[in-house]
Chains A and B, each alone.
Chain A
């Protein structure tokens, strides 16, 4: 059953016309209605249930190289017209006059969730948290604290622009996370695990909450006995899944066209060049159903797409939004995203992953005489202009004589994107994805990262051991 639009088409057409009254190349209305609910269990208590709702519209007017933007929580025609007036203030040259905008026919969408989280009783959601708490605490006596969080969101969006585009999406996301503290003689350690999907409550038919809790608990417990990570350059084997953060940082951000057009990326002018080991085929794909960075249309109304960025080591393309693709006279690649109606869109990743290879993951470890095995990566950060990036371990072990041995305390690894991409010399046939939150220029959006188990011949690890 489709719902009424957030804003009726005749109103949108009048507002877009008004936004261009002083001139301008393009006007756009982005409307959003977001509802969230969440719960936190901490210190054995359900501490907080929260609910929130936010609705509003952001209006932008593009005049040459300049973008004017305003937003409002008032979705009435008068509220929208006021925002259109404010956004159009950047159009100073005049040359406007009466502009008629005719939008495409509406194509309503349904929420892509089999079980809408809003239809599930709050008490049922809380049971997940209690179960996670019990399981985590029973995993080991040293587990001294557990925090379990549940959250869901439903985000209805509508995008209309003066080129006639009219698009809608109805995005439902559901997540569960567990953070454990383990206490021992050498102090405390933390373990974290989460599941997050662009799906409804049906994810809990497949997600084993006990397993999520056990993974988080074991991650904390194993680090109690961990020794300091080494320092210096070492071979690193990244387990399939969270290691995808490496590619998100090492090259993903550097392939975003907003950095490219400003000459602020090491990958400028590299299309067609060998930028990585021939083993590397990197894809950004917003269409992967259910993954954390999945959607039907992006926040500029462009359908999600599968874009090959690096093919067998050769750079094939960058990622594009409306503004940056216009300059190049090409189409957007479906990577225009924004945190909310209060933000301007920019080029963002969706689900970014490395395609699997052919080797056996255990064999890759066995053929690594000495090094570090990273079972779980945390976050990372990159300077796109220099290519230098870091990524942090959340679960890592020494590799000695081809075997995974002692656990290591958390540390960051540091490398240079183009250098590290060339040093990938083994790729396994396994594959996994992991959800994350990507921050850029003050905006956060959900993304997915993925890769198979792989080896880097050398990367600098920042431990405290000499």
Chain B
């Protein structure tokens, strides 16, 4: 048993009678290296750990009450204070029969290998070399690259143990590595930016060349960009943007948002909410997914959940409490933002069933429109409750089925509801990106472009 699991076991053993207790124990090792101008700008390495405790006071028919506390330490006395605080906090919650801790549901966890043992053995010097080489490669790739504002290597080893008085015991560990680079291209007085990245479970998964070329291509092809004329048009979104869009849509697929009347999908299961080509699943058991996981944030096995099938809304994602409120069971979809957060339902690996066209084929099929390579203002302009959608965009016009002149300082707008009903093509180019959703090229018709 790992020391984390042993600690979790010990905390659960200290539960009082008349209460249920769950403890989430996490430890992470992080390395971050930033290269700039041929040197190491910064090198950070650290271990951090902490605990999150939920105590449930059993109130019988009246309902149960939950309290939460966390601490950024695994020292016995600190953990004991967190347990006492969680217990005290529980006394103030409103009793609710839906409130419960997860209990084992018989579903076994997928066999996934998310730990690359080579990471731990990789010397810091090798990681530094990767970051320096990434920066060098971008600077040397094109005379129009004026600056590399950041070239980062990062990695993480995370271990999590979860235990509860309701019989939950889970232990997970995962490694991840990432590269990201931001380039600034210039020509005359014109300046444009572009970024590239690469992710994986271990250093050998990284593709620095691809990240570098991406940053160079995305920044240089924007040179000369101008505002486009306002009007309605077809918009083709780059895979990175689509990953972001799916993440926003996932907020409306949360069972908690649905039972609380905060989702535009509420009450629409069985209805046609998207074009018939749209099939959407959240599948954390897919080993290729960046967010692949064996257990959810309440210690239940992660599983594949169909959300939209043939354009018809099939269901939502639930954790234990939202499932009970909806008269259903958990779909193994609890997520939490580390030991200082409480669980709630959410996606880990949302993906659209791919179509048959790659990006070039899809652009050819669309013919005329706007290709959007990046968006801004997603948090201020996309609302998963109302569905209103308005984002800043930059990219290139599509003319005669290929990419043409670059465009900046425009917005594209619609509503998420209408966009789902206006999907023209889904790309075959699935790419797993950091985050909770896959990227793939997507064409959406009838969007409002606002510019000059």
- What is A's interface to B at a CB cutoff of 8 Å? 39, 42-56, 64-73, 83, 86, 89-90, 122-123, 126, 144-145, 181, 183, 187-190, 223, 229, 231-233, 259, 262-264, 266, 342, 344, 378-383, 385-386, 388-392, 409-416, 441, 460-466
Closest residue of chain B to A465 (Cβ to Cβ) is B448
How far apart are A411's CB and chain B's nearest CB, in angstroms?
4
Q: Is the interface of B mostly helix, strand, loop or mixed?
A: strand
22 CB-based A-B contacts, threshold 8 Å: A45-B96, A51-B69, A51-B85, A64-B39, A90-B43, A145-B260, A188-B262, A231-B449, A232-B452, A266-B191, A342-B46, A379-B380, A382-B376, A383-B193, A386-B192, A386-B408, A390-B380, A390-B392, A391-B380, A460-B227, A464-B448, A465-B448
Q: Which of A55, A89, A231 contacts B72 (CB 8 A)?
A: A55
Q: How far is the CA of A410 from the CA of B389 in the complex (A)?
A: 8
> Which chain B residues (10-40) contact chain A, with CB distance < 8 Å?
36-37, 39-40
Q: What A residues does B288 contact at CB under 8 A?
A: none
Tell me if A48 and B124 are in contact (CB < 8 A). no
Q: Chain A's nearest CB lies how many Å from the CB of B155?
A: 15
The CA-CA distance from A189 to B72 in the complex, in Å, is 38
Q: Are A463 and B450 in contact (CB under 8 A)?
A: yes
| Chain A residues, Cβ within 8 Å of B82 | 51, 53
CB distance from A219 to the nearest CB of B (A): 12
**Assuming A53-B70, A409-B386, A464-B448, what are 13 further A-B pairs, CB within 8 angstroms?**
A51-B70, A52-B70, A54-B340, A65-B37, A67-B43, A190-B383, A262-B147, A263-B147, A344-B44, A380-B380, A389-B376, A462-B413, A464-B390
Q: Mark B37-80, 1 if CB is under 8 A from A, else 0.
A: 10111111111111000000000000000111111110000100
B339 CB to closest chain A CB, in angstroms? Answer: 9
Whether A411 and B413, one on each chain, are in contact in the complex, defined by CB atoms closer than 8 angstroms, is yes
CB-CB under 8 A from B387, the residues of chain A are 187
Q: Is B394's beta carbon under 8 Å from chain A? A: yes
Query: In the complex, what's the smallest C-beta–C-beta distance from A326 to chain B, in angstroms?
Result: 14
Residues of A within 8 A of B451 (CB): 232, 460
> What is the CA–CA distance of A465 and B447 in the complex, to the nearest angstrom?
10
Specify the chain A residue showing the minimal Cβ separation from B34.
A67
| A377: min CB distance to chain B, Å | 8
- Chain B residues positioned under 8 Å from A89 (CB to CB): 43, 45, 124
Mark B413-426 against chain A: 1 for CB-CB distance below 8 A, else 0.
11100000000000
Closest 3 CB pairs of A and B: A462-B411, A392-B380, A54-B72
Query: How many angstroms between the C-alpha atoms of A388 and B190 in the bound complex?
Result: 13
Question: B261 contacts which chain A residues (CB < 8 A)?
Answer: 144-145, 181, 183, 188
Interface pair B147/A342, CB less than 8 Å apart: no
- The residues in B between 228 and 276 inclusive whose CB is less than 8 angstroms from any CB of A are 230-232, 259-262, 264
Known: A50-B69, A126-B92, A263-B147. A229 touches B184 (CB 8 A): no
Task: Give the interface SS of chain A, mostly helix, strand, loop or mixed.
Answer: strand
Chain B residues with Cβ below 8 Å from A344 are 42, 44
A386 pairs with B260, CB closer than 8 A: no
Contacts of B94 in A (CB 8 A): 44-47
Contact A386 B413 (CB under 8 A): no
A181, A231, A264: most-surrounded residue (chain B CB, <10 A):
A231
Q: Is B373 among interface residues, defined by CB-CB distance under 8 A?
A: no
What's the nearest-Cβ distance from chain A to residue B319, in Å?
13
Check B383 against A388 for contact (C-beta < 8 Å): no
Contacts A190-B386, A412-B391 given; does A181 touch B262 at CB 8 Å: yes
Name B45's contact: one of A52, A86, A144 (CB within 8 Å).
Answer: A86
* Chain A residue with Cβ nearest B417: A187
Q: Please state if A391 and B377 are interface contacts (CB–CB under 8 Å).
A: yes
Residues of A within 8 A of B414 (CB): 464
CB–CB B413/A69 < 8 A: no
With contact pairs A56-B72, A414-B409 given, residues A67 and B42 touching in the complex (Cβ less than 8 Å): yes
**Chain B residues in 8 Å Cβ range of A390:** 376-377, 380-381, 391-392, 411
Sort chain B's interface into a size bin.
35 or more
Residue of A nearest to B229 (CB): A232
Closest to B325 in A: A43
Complex contacts, B192 vs chain A, CB 8 Å = 385-386
Question: Please, which residue of chain B has its CB at the minimum distance from the CB of A232?
Answer: B230
Inter-chain CA distance A39–B70, complex, in Å, is: 14
Cβ-based interface call for B137 (8 A): no
Known interface pairs A69-B43, A90-B40, A463-B448; A410-B390 also in contact (CB < 8 Å): yes
- In residues 192-241 of chain B, which contact A (Cβ within 8 Å)? 192-193, 227, 230-232
For residue B385, CB closer than 8 A to chain A, the reply is: yes
- For residue A42, which residues in chain B have a CB less than 8 angstroms away from its CB? 260
Nearest-CB distance from A439 to chain B (Å)?
9
A251→B238 CA distance, assembly (Å):
28
Tell me how far the C-beta of A155 lies from the nearest C-beta in chain B, rounded to whole angstroms: 13
In the complex, A389→B55 CA distance in Å? 45
How far, in angstroms, from A409 to B68 measured CA to CA in the complex? Answer: 37
Q: Please, how many angstroms separate the alpha-carbon atoms of A388 and B409 in the complex?
A: 6
Q: Please name all residues of chain A whose beta carbon is closer than 8 Å to the beta carbon of B340 when the two chains form the complex.
A: 52, 54
**Which residues of chain A have C-beta atoms less than 8 A from B409's C-beta?**
388, 414-416, 460
- Contact across chains for A264 and B147 when beta carbons are under 8 A apart: yes
Q: Residues of B contacting A263 with CB < 8 Å?
A: 146-147, 184
Cβ-defined contact, B380 with A381, below 8 A? yes
Considering residues A67, A123, A259, A464, which has the most beta carbons from chain B within 10 angstroms of its beta carbon? A464
Interface membership of B410, Cβ < 8 A = yes
How distant is A378 from chain B, measured CB to nearest CB, in Å?
4
CB pair A73–B381 under 8 Å, yes or no, is no
Contact assessment for A411 and B411 in the assembled complex, using a CB-CB cutoff below 8 Å: yes
Q: Is A464 a contact partner of B380 (Cβ separation < 8 A)?
A: no
Query: Given A43-B260, A73-B72, A263-B184, do A48 and B93 touch, yes or no (CB 8 Å)?
Result: yes
Please report which residues of chain B, range 348-403, place their CB below 8 angstroms from some CB of chain A when the two chains form the complex: 376-377, 379-381, 383, 385-388, 390-392, 394
B6 at interface, CB cutoff 8 A:
no
In the complex, what residues of A have CB within 8 A of residue B43's CB?
A: 66-69, 89-90
Query: Are A386 and B379 touching (Cβ within 8 A)?
Result: no
CA distance in complex: A233, B451 (Å) = 7
Name the A residues within 8 Å of B385 (CB-CB): 181, 188-190
Q: Chain A CB within 10 Å — which of B81, B385, B450 has the most? A: B450
Instruction: Tell me the smallest distance from the CB of B64 to a CB of chain A, in Å.
Output: 12
Kindly list chain B residues whose C-beta atoms are within 8 Å of the C-beta of A126.
92
Is the beta-carbon distance between B193 and A386 smaller than 8 angstroms? yes
Does B342 have its Cβ within 8 Å of any Cβ on chain A?
Answer: yes
Q: Are the CB atoms of A46 and B93 closer together than 8 Å? A: yes
**Complex interface: chain B residues within 8 A of A409 (CB):** 386, 388
Chain A CB within 10 Å, residue with most, of B41, B69, B191, B231: B191
For A44, the closest partner residue in chain B by CB is: B94
Name the contact of B46 in the complex, choosing from A72, A386, A414 (C-beta under 8 A). A72
Kindly state the separation between the CA atoms of A411 and B391 in the bound complex, as whole angstroms. 8
A73 / chain B contacts, CB cutoff of 8 Å: 48-49, 72-73
Q: Which one of A67, A68, A69, A264 has the greatest number of beta carbons of chain B within 10 Å?
A: A264
Decide yes or no: A412 and B69 within 8 Å by CB, A52-B340, A460-B410, A463-B448 being known contacts. Answer: no
Closest to A122 in B: B92
- Quick check: is B89 within 8 A (CB to CB) of the other chain? yes
B172 close to A (CB within 8 Å): no
* Among candidates A49, A69, A385, residue contacting B89 with C-beta atoms closer than 8 Å: A49
**Interface pair A392/B448, CB less than 8 Å apart:** no
Interface residue B412 (Cβ < 8 Å from any Cβ of A): yes
Instruction: Please encode chain B, from 70 to 111, with 1 for each CB lying within 8 Å of some chain A CB and 0 for all others.
Output: 111100001001100110111011101000000000000000
Q: How far is the CB of A369 from chain B (nearest CB, A)?
A: 20
The distance from the CB of B258 to the nearest CB of chain A, in whole angstroms, is: 12
Residues in A with CB closer than 8 Å to B376 are 381-383, 388-390, 412, 414
B277 at interface by CB-CB < 8 Å? no
For residue B394, which residues in chain A have a CB less than 8 angstroms away from its CB? 388
Within the assembled complex, what's the spacing in Å between the Cα atoms of A225 and B418?
19
Contacts of B377 in A (CB 8 A): 379-381, 390-392, 412, 414
Q: Are A466 and B72 in contact (CB under 8 A)?
A: no
Shortest B309–chain A CB gap in Å is 24
CB distance from A359 to the nearest CB of B (A): 28
